Amino acid sequence: MAGIKFAAPASDPNEYKNVFVFLETREDQLMRPALEMIGVGKRMAEKVNEKLVCILLGGDIKDQAKEAVSYGCDIVLGAESPILSTYRTLPYSHIIADFVREEKPNIFLIPATRNGRDLASRIAVSCQAGVTADCTELDIEQDTRILSANRPTYGESMLAEILCKRHRPQMATARPGIFPVPEKIKSHKGEIRIKEVTVDKSMLRKEVLEFRKKEVVDLTAAKVVVSGGMGLGKPQGFSLIGDLATELDGVVGATRPAVDMGWITRDHQVGQTGQTVRPRLYLAVGISGKIQHIMGMKNSETIVSINTDPNAEITKYSDYVITEDLYKAVPVLLDEIRKLKRSPPTPVQETGSAPAQ
Amino acid sequence: MIILALEIIVLVKQVPDSQEVVIDPVTMNLNRSLTRNVTNRADENALEAALQIKDKVDAHVTVISMGPPQAETTMIECLARGADRAILASDRFFGGADTYPTGLTLAATIKTFGKFDIIFAGEETSDSSTGHVGPGVAEFLDIDQITYASKVDFKDGYITAERELEDGTEVVRVPTPVLITVLLNSNVPRRQTLRRKIDAMKQGFESWDHEKVGLQPEWVGVRGSPTIVRKMRPIKERERAAKKVDLAGIPDLVKELYQKGAIKLESE
Ligand SMILES: Cc1cc2nc3c(=O)[nH]c(=O)nc-3n(C[C@H](O)[C@H](O)[C@H](O)COP(=O)(O)OP(=O)(O)OC[C@H]3O[C@@H](n4cnc5c(N)ncnc54)[C@H](O)[C@@H]3O)c2cc1C
Ligand SMILES: Nc1ncnc2c1ncn2[C@@H]1O[C@H](COP(=O)(O)O)[C@@H](O)[C@H]1O
């Protein structure tokens, strides 16, 4: 199947139809990025009157297939085998590449999660397809059915629009946390085709010895995120951040160096290589505002930063800037929020001022 | 029985220094003449992971890169850190490659090189940040892979590694040959010594063109790329007020945030 072969264009691109998405699972449960793929895939399929086809692999996936249908999937192509409940590169990439060769999708989307990226380029090479990585905007041109795959580049300062005109399928990985999870449609009908598969031993030489699950803070769904950076100066700083987050009913975020220092676990990381958040309120505490961090939080509704350096880059991304030592400012903030809670101002003009969610 | 040394390959790329990227306002392209080039940082971690195996067992470490002649500095730097050999796949036909022909060219270079047991790559590059090239090479060579590895250990023909996923750490074990992509900052790259730097410059690197690696010009570079960039546009950020607040202003700030609905008092 593999071998050194160049990317031959599709002999007839019109043979390729429908929008396919890969549904990533963990222990057979659909992950949030899987639902995000259904949302963006459905929108494109409807635009050109085609079907949304979801690829689902696992040990026991019948309920998950129904769930995918309820979110808008028209056809579920499933492969079931007990050994597929854990992701492994070779069996997954071989089974999915076979689906692609048989079914000839026009578009194939995979979440740009770690396992999604592990998988996507193997399939692209195997199927001689073009793939655009880590897209933040996706659209399909109605007349040509060409995928417009847009991805940030040059340190997030530019958006590149990338096309794949002659090769099929047109593949893309889509950044998690960008595309909204669609509403469930109770009445939606779909076709479920699950086949049982046997996987060749040669593909199972990789053993997964263990999976140490982390308590995952889903930052992407949080309404308030309080993030700490290197300005905290010490690991204990995160207990202060934690207090503020608790008081605001939010979650704790962090910059990558703070994670690398071991001050907090990686699942709190916001940014290019962490999670992308868009809360109602984002508090950046002791964070310089390097672009790799900014790209994970810039779409927050209101941004408040605390930084001793008035010229820190975070300033231009902030609605409010507190130019003070965080160890002075955060206790005052905590105090004021507690005061507010004890004696909330009488709601005078509550109507009409509700913020957009 | 003769036990051959382990052959380890490390894929490294020279990238523009992400701290000082200069965009030409007219062409919207990178102004290469104003941008300094450095070795992709995750690739330094990949090289270090390889050298740590070489510290323990008899091994040869070869760095392979595809890039223009100026990648020489990266090649010499890798030798000075402890690599045994450096090969730069360099040819005017290789320019403008997307991930497909990049993987193809690197895989062809590895095949031309000959035997390999372990291939290391970085988790991603700072300039294209796809993370697709490593797995692409593994697919071309039809071998297994371990991506996003934080810890890598080699023993008796098996790699045991930890992979960092969004929701946990996966521990895997794979017999060689295998391709491993290494996380940024997962180790501390050793320094180049002056001594080794002098040796490295004496030793030099090899430059291989498309004929040497057995590829046709139309398979590689921009012509061999399924994807094309249609256009580039600046990402416009919403202008934010950056309203200044001092310690004494925090009470008013909290009230303002409450009135805007940014702070709510009941949990949702
Ligand atoms: C490929 C790649 C991917 C990356 N991915 C990410 C990512 O996903 N997320 C991420 O966050 N980073 C990421 N980074 C790192 C990023 O480039 C920056 O290094 C990082 O965001 C900086 O973190 P920081 O703001 O905590 O630290 P610093 O840049 O060191 O900033 C600390 C700030 O704290 C301020 N400060 C110091 N003391 C105080 C005090 N007492 N009170 C108030 N303020 C104080 C300082 O003025 C300074 O502005 C990535 C880098 C690369 C190369
Ligand atoms: N031109 C290249 N030459 C050598 N290695 C490369 C090249 N491009 C990418 N790589 C390797 O593939 C990894 C992932 O790159 P990317 O897919 O561009 O994010 C890098 O960290 C390198 O190890």
Which residues in chain B are closer than 8 Å to A122, comparing Cβ atoms? 135-136, 138-139, 145
B176-214 burial code (b ≥16 CB/10 A, e <16): bbbbbbbbbbbbebbebeeebeeebeeeebebbebeebe
E runs forming strands in B97-223: 118-122, 144-155, 158-165, 168-175, 178-182, 206-208
- Whether residues B241 and A163 touch (CB distance < 8 A) is answered with no
> Is B145 strand, coil or helix?
strand
The pLDDT value given to residue A348: 55
Q: How far is B81 from chain A (nearest CA, A)?
A: 23
Q: Is the CB of B102 under 6 A from ligand 2?
A: yes
Residue of chain B whose alpha carbon sits nearest to that of A205: B174
For residue A9, cis peptide bond before it (omega within 30 degrees of 0): no
The interface predicted TM-score (ipTM) is: 0.84
- Whether residues B166 and A216 touch (CB distance < 8 A) is answered with yes
Q: Which CATH superfamily is domain B6-219 in?
A: HUPs (3.40.50.620)
- Whether residues B224 and A126 touch (CB distance < 8 A) is answered with no
Which residue's alpha carbon is nearest to atom 4 within ligand 2? B65
Which residues in chain A are closer than 8 Å to B146, comparing Cβ atoms? 206
The pLDDT value given to residue B26: 63
- Whether residues B165 and A114 touch (CB distance < 8 A) is answered with yes
HSE value, Cβ hemisphere, 13 Å, CA-based, for A123? 34
Q: Is the CB of A177 under 6 A from ligand 1?
A: no
Which residue's alpha carbon is nearest to atom 50 within ligand 1? A292
How buried is B58 (Cβ within 10 angstroms: 0-12 exposed, 13-18 middle, 19+ buried)? exposed
- Whether residue A123 contacts residue B103, with contact meaning beta carbons closer than 8 Å, is answered with no
Q: Where are the domains of chain B?
A: 6-219
> Is B148 strand, coil or helix?
strand
Q: Is the CB of B72 under 6 A from ligand 2?
A: no
Instruction: Determine how many CB atoms are found less than 10 A away from the CB of residue A273.
Output: 21
Give the closest ligand to the alpha carbon of residue A241: 1
pLDDT by position in tens, chain A (length 357): 346 889 999 999 999 999 999 999 999 999 999 999 999 999 999 999 999 999 999 999 999 999 999 999 999 999 999 999 999 999 999 999 999 999 999 999 999 999 999 999 999 999 999 999 999 999 999 999 999 999 988 777 789 999 999 999 999 999 998 898 999 998 999 999 999 999 999 999 999 999 999 877 789 889 999 999 999 999 999 999 999 999 999 999 999 999 999 999 888 999 988 898 989 999 999 999 998 899 899 989 999 999 999 999 999 999 999 999 999 999 999 999 999 998 887 655 545 444 444
Measure the CA–CA gap between B39 and B14, rounded to whole angstroms: 5
Q: Is the CB of B11 under 6 A from ligand 2?
A: yes
Q: Is the CB of B125 under 6 A from ligand 2?
A: yes
The pLDDT value given to residue B166: 87
Which residues in chain A are closer than 8 Å to B268, comparing Cβ atoms? 223, 249
Which residues in chain A are closer than 8 Å to B147, comparing Cβ atoms? 89, 114, 117-118
In whole angstroms, how large is the CA radius of gyration of chain A?
A: 23
pLDDT by position in tens, chain B (length 268): 567 899 999 999 999 886 666 666 666 666 666 678 999 999 999 999 999 999 999 999 999 999 999 999 999 999 999 999 999 999 999 999 999 999 999 999 999 999 999 999 999 998 888 999 999 999 999 999 999 999 999 999 999 999 999 889 999 999 999 999 999 999 999 998 889 999 999 999 999 999 999 999 999 999 999 999 999 988 877 889 999 999 999 999 999 999 999 998 876 6
Q: Is the CB of A290 under 6 A from ligand 1?
A: yes
Strands A137-140 and A147-153: antiparallel
- Whether residue A125 contacts residue B136, with contact meaning beta carbons closer than 8 Å, is answered with yes
How buried is A29 (Cβ within 10 angstroms: 0-12 exposed, 13-18 middle, 19+ buried)? middle
Measure the CA–CA gap between A226 and A248, rounded to whole angstroms: 9
Helices (H), B155-226: 194-203
Of B128, B171, B227, the CB nearest to A209: B171
Q: How far is B148 from chain A (nearest CA, A)?
A: 7
- Whether residues B136 and A122 touch (CB distance < 8 A) is answered with yes
Angle at B196 between CA B194 and CA B199, to 5 degrees: 115
Give the closest ligand to the alpha carbon of residue A118: 2
Residues in chain B: 268
- Whether residues A130 and B227 touch (CB distance < 8 A) is answered with yes
Which residue's alpha carbon is nearest to atom 8 within ligand 2? B13
- Whether residues B100 and A125 touch (CB distance < 8 A) is answered with yes
Dihedral sign from CA coordinates of A301, B263, A290, B46: negative
- Whether residues B142 and A2 touch (CB distance < 8 A) is answered with yes
Q: Is the CB of B131 under 6 A from ligand 2?
A: yes
Measure the CA–CA gap between B189 and B49, rounded to whole angstroms: 8
Q: Is B242 on the interface with A (CB under 8 A)?
A: yes
Q: Is the CB of B134 under 6 A from ligand 2?
A: yes
Q: How far is the CA of B193 from the centre of ligand 1 (A)?
A: 30
Measure the CA–CA gap between A124 and B104, rounded to whole angstroms: 12
Residue of chain B whose alpha carbon sits nearest to that of A6: B219
Instruction: Determine how many CB atoms are found less than 10 A away from the CB of residue B244.
Output: 13
- Whether residues A160 and B240 touch (CB distance < 8 A) is answered with no
Q: Is the CB of B174 under 6 A from ligand 1?
A: no
Ligand 1, residues A234, A307, A321: which to mutate, most atoms within 8 A of Cβ?
Answer: A307
Which residues in chain A are closer than 8 Å to B236, comparing Cβ atoms? none
Strands A147-153 and A158-163: antiparallel
- Whether residues B226 and A2 touch (CB distance < 8 A) is answered with no
Q: How far is the CA of B54 from the centre of ligand 2 (A)?
A: 22
List C-alpha distances in Å: A142 to A47, A148, A224, A235, A251: 7, 11, 38, 52, 41
* HEC per residue, chain A: CCCCCCCCCCCCHHHCCCEEEECCEECCEECHHHHHHHHHHHHHHHHCCCCEEEEEEECCCHHHHHHHHHCCCCEEEEEECHHHHCCCHHHHHHHHHHHHHHHCCCEEEEECCHHHHHHHHHHHHHHCCEEEEEECEEEECCCCCCEEEEEEECCCCEEEEEECCCCCCEEEEECCCCCCCCCCCCCCCCEEEEEECCCCHHHCCCEEEEEEECCCCCHHHCCEEEEECHHHCCCCHHHHHHHHHHHCCCEEEECHHHHHCCCCCHHHEECCCCECCCCCEEEEECCCCCHHHHCCCCCCCEEEEECCCCCCHHHHHCCEEECCCHHHHHHHHHHHHHHHHHCCCCCCCCCCCCCCC
The pLDDT value given to residue A1: 39
Which residues in chain B are closer than 8 Å to A251, comparing Cβ atoms? none
**Residues in contact with B219: Cβ distance below 8 Å, sequence separation at least 6, in sequence order:** A6, A7, B101, B104
Measure the CA–CA gap between A196 and A7, rounded to whole angstroms: 31
Which residue's alpha carbon is nearest to atom 9 within ligand 1? A271
Q: How far is B43 from chain A (nearest CA, A)?
A: 16
Q: Which residue has the tokens 């998988």?
A: A119
Of A160, A208, A337, the CB nearest to B229: A160
Element (H, E) at B251: helix B250-260
The pLDDT value given to residue A347: 58
